[in-house]
Structure 1
Amino acid sequence: MSLVKSVGVIGGLTLVSRIFGFARDMLLSRLLGAGAGADAFFVAFKLPNTFRRLFAEGAFSAAYVPMFSKELHGPGGKKAAERFSANVLSVFLPVLLLFTALFEIFMPGIVWLMASAYQDVPGKFELTVELTRIAFPYLLLISLVSLLSGVLNSMSKFAAAAAAPILLNICLIGGVLLFGSTTGDNAETARALAISVTVAGVVQFVWLLWAVRRAGLTLRLRRPRLDPKVKQLGRIIVPATFGAGIYQLSQLIDTFFATRLEEGAMSFLNYADRLNQLPLGVVGIALGTAILPALSRLIAREDADGAQRLQGTAVELSMLLTLPAAAALGVAAQPIVEAIFLGGRFTAEHVAATAGVLVALVSGLPAYVLIKVLTPGFFARGDTKTPVKTAAAALTFNVAVILLVIDRFGIVGLAAATAVSSWFNCAMLYTILHRRGHFTLSGQVVLRVAKQLFAALVMAAGLWWVTGALGSAFTAGALARAGALAAVVLTGATLYFGVLWVIGGFHREHLAKLRRGNTA
C-alpha cells in the first residue's frame, strides 16, 4: 500500500472520528460548560487519554511495529510473528493490571500531584478523584488495543485500528444524551461520562480483537516469560514513551499549571485542543503511523535513498495539509469556537478565552506534525536514546517558558509555551538527522513548502474578510452556524489550493506515483 493511500485510509477514518468528537464536545460544552464539573472530568480523562496517545500513537507502535514486521517478514513468517505477539501479550497484561491497581489505590495522591489546587474549591478535588478512578481502567484496555493495532498496522491493515476512536466518541455521545442535563448539578453528567470512557475501552478491545482474528492471527495467553525479544521490546518502550510523547507530556505539564489558574482554565484548554487535534490527528498521526513500517522496510533493505525520499515526501505532504489548517484556525479562531461551542452553559466569555488558547496552540501545529514525521527516522533505525534527549531538552525549555509567561498571560501563555517548545524539539530532531546523513530536505521540497506557506497566508487574508462579512451567523441558529462554517471551509480550500495550483506548490507527478503504489 502506498504512503498516500495509507495516509488516506488512516486520515479519512481519523477525520470521521474527529467529526464524532466535535459532536461530543458540542454536547459537553452545553451540558458541562467550563465550571467545576467540567474541569474535574477533563482532568480525570486527561490521565488515561494521555497514556492512550503515548501508547497507541507513540511508544508502543514505535517499538512494537518494527519488531513485529521483522518477525512477520523473516524466515518464521506469520507463526513467528504470532508467537512473538502472544509472548508480549502474556507479559504485558499482568504489568498493566498491576499498574492499574496501583493507580487506583494511590489515585488521591496522583490527582493531588496534578490538581492540588482543586482542594481550594469544596468538593472539586473529591469529584476529580472519583471520576479519575472510574475512567482509569480505560488505560489498561486501550493499551491492549494498541498491541492489536500494532499487529494490524504491521500487516498494512490500517482501517480497523484507525476506526477504533470512533467507538470512543459514540460511547461518550451516548452517555451525554442519556444522562446529560443543562439544569442542576453537572456532577452526575460528569460521572456518566467517566463510566462511558471505560465502556468505550471494552468496546474498542473487542473490535480490534475481532479484526486481528479476521486478519488470520490468533493471540492466546501463555505463562508470562521474559524471553530476549520481549526484554528487547521493554528496553525500547521506556525511552520511546518519552521520546515519541513530547506533546502529550507537555499536556500533563499544562494540566498541572492550568489547575492552578482561574476556574474553567482546564476546560478552555481542552476545547481548544480538540480543534487543534483535528489536523494533528488526520495528518500527523496518520503520517506517523503509515511511515514507520514503510521506513523500517526501506532501512532493512539498506535503501538509504528510498528512506530519504519517503521522509521528504512525508514532510511535503504534512505541510501541504497542516499549514492551511493552522492558518485557518488561527485567523478564524473566535468565529469557529462560537459556531461549535457557544450555547447552554458555555458563555461568550468562555468563547473568548478558548479562542485565545486556540490561537496560541495552532502556532505550533506544523511542529507537532513534523515531530510525528521525523521521530520514525530514529525509531526505524533502533535509536530511541536520541529522541529521549531532545524531548528532555524540550520539556525543560517548556517549563522555563511557562514560568516566564504564566503570570502575565495565564492559560494562553501555557498554550504558547507548548507551541514554542514543540518547535524547539522539531528543530533538534531535524538537525540531528541531517548531521548523521539520514535525512536532508531537498531544495525542491523546501521551495514547495515555501509556496504552501505563501498560499496559506493568502487564504488567511481571505478568511479574515469572510468571517467579518458573515458576522453574527456564527452565533445564530444551528443551520446558520453550519452554513457559516461551510463557507469558511469552502473559501479556504478554494483559495489555498487555487493559489497552489497556479504557483506549483506540490509535486504532482510524485504524488501520482504514490497513488499507484510506486514509492521509488
Structure 2
Amino acid sequence: RLAGFIRDRVFAHYFGSSDFADAWRAALRLPNVIQNLLGEGTLSASLIPIYAEYLEKGEEEKAGHLAGAALGILTVVGGGLALLGILVAPLLVEVLFFRWSPDKQAITITLVRILFPMTGMLVISAWALTILNSHRRFFISYVAPVLWNVSMIAAMVGGFVYLDLGERDLVVALGWGALVGGALQLMFQVPFVLKYRTGLRISVGRHVEGLKEAIQNFIPVVTARGVINLSGWLDLFLAALLVDGAVAVLGYAQTFYMLPISLFGISVAASELPELSRMRVEAEQVLASRVSTALRRVSFFVIPSAAVYLVLGDVVVAAVFQTGAFGSVETLVTWGVLGAYAIGLPASASSRVLSSAFYALRDTKTPAKIAYIRIVVSIVIGLSLMIPLDDLGFEQLRLGAAGLALGASAGAWLEYVLLRRSLRVMIGAHGPGSSAVLRVMLAATLAVGSGVLLQLTLPAAHPIVLGVATLIPTGLVYVATAAFLGEKISDRVRR
C-alpha cells in the first residue's frame, strides 16, 4: 500500500483529474472484477480454513492435492474471464460511460484490454498468497505487490523523461507497465510457494478431498463479491454522470481510504484467519478472546486514521498528491470525499476481522448475506445524496462523489453491527471493549486537535513540508496520549 501511494503520487503529478485520469481509474476498476471474485479475499475465506486444518493435522499430502486443484480451477476460470473481458470491453465501456466523449471511451477500451490479462495473473498471485499465509509466511506475499507498483512507476517516469510521451501515450505505457508488474508479482512468489509443494499436483479433479467443501464455502463469498463488484461498477457509472474528473477524485480518495484498511484491517484479518481456523474446535471463549484482541488492535490504528482524514484530510491529500497537474482545487474536493469515507472507516476495517472469524468457523453464508444488505443501503443512500451535494452551488468544488462515499460509510456501519450481532450468537460476547475504544477516541481527539493548532500557526510552506511538520507531531501526540491512558503500545503493534 505504501508503494501504491508513491505510484499514485507519480500518477497525480502527470494526470491530475484529467480525462486520462478518469479513463485509467475506470479501466483499472473494470478488470478488477476477476481479482475481486477469485482473488485473495475469496480464496482466504474458502481455502485457508480447510488447508490450514490439514496442515495442523500433519496431512501435507492432502493439503498439497487441495492446493493443486484450486490452482488448476483458478487458472482455467481466471483465464477464461480475462479473455471474455477483452472481447466485451467495448460494450462495457459504452454502456457504463455513455456520457463520455468517443475519444475518452476509446482510450478506456484500450486500457481495459491491456489490464484484463493482468488481473488473471493477479488471481494466481492471490493463490500463492493464500498458500504462504497458511504456512505463516506473511512477509513474502505482501512484499510481492511492490514489484507491481514499481513497474508502473517506471513506465510513467521512463515514458515521460526518456521517451517524451504525451498524456495519451503515457497512460497506455502505464497500462503495459501494470501488465508487466502483474507478471513480476506472480514470478516473485513462485520459488517460495514451491518450498511447500508436497503433494502439489495441478488438476481440476472433482474427487480431491476437501475441494467440495472449499467450493461450497466459495460460492456464497463469490456471490457476495459479485454483488460488491456490481456496486463498484454502479459507483463508476454514477461518478461518470458527474463532472469530468469525478471518477479520478473518487479513486484518489479510495486510495487513502484503503490504506488503513489494508495495513491494519486486512493484515490483522489475514494473520488471524489461519490461527482462528486452527482454533475452531476449541472453546467459544478462546475464539471470542482472540477476536476481541484483533478488534482492539484494529481500533488502535484505524480510529486515529479516520480522525486525521476527517479533520486534517487537506494536509494529508496535499502532502501526497498536490504536485504537477494535481492542484489545490483537486486537494479540497478529494478531502471532501475522503472525509465522507472516513466516517465509515473503523467499521469497514473491523468488519474484515469479523468476517475472518466466520470464515474460520466454516460459515461463509452469513457474511455474504450481510454484504448484500450493506450494498443495497450504500447504493440507496449514496444515490440520494449524490445529486444534492453536487448542486450545492460551488463552481469548482463539486462534491457529488462525497455522496457516494457517505452511502458507503452508512453501509459499512450497518454491516459491522449485523456481523457483531450474528457472531455473538456463535461465540458469545466479544468486541474491542468500550473502555479501550474510549481511550483511543480521546487520544485521537487530542492528537488531531494539536494537529489543527499546528496547521493554523505554521507559516505557509510546501505541502510536503507542512504535512511532515503537522502529521508527525500529531502521531506522536496520539501514541504518547494513548500510552498515558493505559494502552499497551507494543501489544498493538506486534504482528
Q: TM-score, normalised by structure 1?
A: 0.87
Q: What residue is the counterpart of 2:396 in the other structure?
A: none
Residue 178 of structure 2 is aligned to residue 197 of structure 1? yes
Q: What residue is the counterpart of 1:58 in the other structure?
A: 41
Residue 283 of structure 2 is aligned to residue 283 of structure 1? no
Q: What residue is the counterpart of 2:89 in the other structure?
A: 107
SS at match of 1:156: coil
Residue 174 of structure 2 is aligned to residue 186 of structure 1? no
User: How do 1:167-316 and structure 2 match up within 5 A?
Assistant: 167-180=147-160, 185-215=166-196, 217=198, 219-222=200-203, 224-227=204-207, 229-243=210-224, 250-299=231-280, 301-316=281-296
Distance in 2 (alpha carbons) for counterparts of 1:314 and 1:288: 8
* Contact 1:55–1:241 (CA under 8 A) maintained in structure 2: yes
Q: Which amino acid counterpart does residue 188 of structure 1 have in structure 2? A: D
Residue by residue over 1:233-261, the C-alpha shift from the partner in whole angstroms, topping out at 9 and shown as x without a partner, is 22322311354788766433321211111
Shift of 1:206: 0.7
* Contact 1:330–1:359 (CA under 8 A) maintained in structure 2: yes
User: How do 1:73-88 and structure 2 match up within 5 A?
Assistant: 73-74=56-57, 77-88=59-70
Distance in 1 (alpha carbons) for counterparts of 2:110 and 2:275: 43
Which of 17, 35, 42 lines up with 2:25 in the alignment? 42
* Contact 2:152–2:174 (CA under 8 A) maintained in structure 1: yes
Structure 2 unpaired stretches of 5+: 390-399
Which of 308, 312, 321 lines up with 1:341 in the alignment? 321
* Contact 1:242–1:391 (CA under 8 A) maintained in structure 2: no
Shift of 1:114: 3.2
Distance in 2 (alpha carbons) for counterparts of 1:497 and 1:490: 11
Q: What residue is the counterpart of 2:429 in the other structure?
A: 440
Shift of 1:217: 4.7
Shift of 1:263: 0.4
Residue 298 of structure 2 is aligned to residue 318 of structure 1? yes
Shift of 1:47: 2.5
Distance in 1 (alpha carbons) for counterparts of 2:75 and 2:197: 22
Change (3 A) 1:378 1:20: same
Distance in 1 (alpha carbons) for counterparts of 2:323 and 2:167: 15
Q: Which amino acid counterpart does residue 91 of structure 1 have in structure 2? A: I
Q: What residue is the counterpart of 1:464 in the other structure?
A: 452
Shift of 1:495: 1.5
User: How do 1:85-164 and structure 2 match up within 5 A?
Assistant: 85-118=67-100, 121-164=101-144
Q: Which amino acid counterpart does residue 438 of structure 1 have in structure 2? A: I
* Contact 1:298–1:304 (CA under 8 A) maintained in structure 2: no
Q: Which amino acid counterpart does residue 103 of structure 2 have in structure 1? A: G
Q: What residue is the counterpart of 1:7 in the other structure?
A: none
SS at match of 1:472: coil
Shift of 1:28: 0.7
Q: What residue is the counterpart of 1:6 in the other structure?
A: none
Q: Which amino acid counterpart does residue 25 of structure 1 have in structure 2? A: D
Q: What residue is the counterpart of 1:411 in the other structure?
A: 401
* Contact 1:58–1:244 (CA under 8 A) maintained in structure 2: no
Residue 17 of structure 2 is aligned to residue 28 of structure 1? no
Distance in 2 (alpha carbons) for counterparts of 1:492 and 1:263: 35
Q: Which amino acid counterpart does residue 30 of structure 1 have in structure 2? A: H
Q: Which amino acid counterpart does residue 467 of structure 2 have in structure 1? A: L
Distance in 1 (alpha carbons) for counterparts of 2:224 and 2:117: 24
Greater relative contact order structure (CA < 8 Å, 6+ sep): 1
Q: What residue is the counterpart of 1:421 in the other structure?
A: 411
Residue by residue over 1:37-81, the C-alpha shift from the partner in whole angstroms, topping out at 9 and shown as x without a partner, is 111111111123454355444111111111111222235x22221
Residue 145 of structure 2 is aligned to residue 165 of structure 1? yes
Shift of 1:460: 1.6
Identity %: 25
Distance in 1 (alpha carbons) for counterparts of 2:426 and 2:253: 38
Q: What residue is the counterpart of 1:12 in the other structure?
A: none
Residue by residue over 1:481-508, the C-alpha shift from the partner in whole angstroms, topping out at 9 and shown as x without a partner, is 433222223211222122222222x357
Number of residue-to-residue matches in the alignment:
483
Q: TM-score, normalised by structure 2?
A: 0.92
Q: Which amino acid counterpart does residue 212 of structure 1 have in structure 2? A: V
Change (3 A) 1:275 1:508: closer
Shift of 1:307: 0.6
Q: Which amino acid counterpart does residue 385 of structure 2 have in structure 1? A: V
SS at match of 1:136: helix
* Contact 1:324–1:456 (CA under 8 A) maintained in structure 2: yes
Say which is worse superposed, 354-363 or 247-256, in terms of deviation. Answer: 247-256
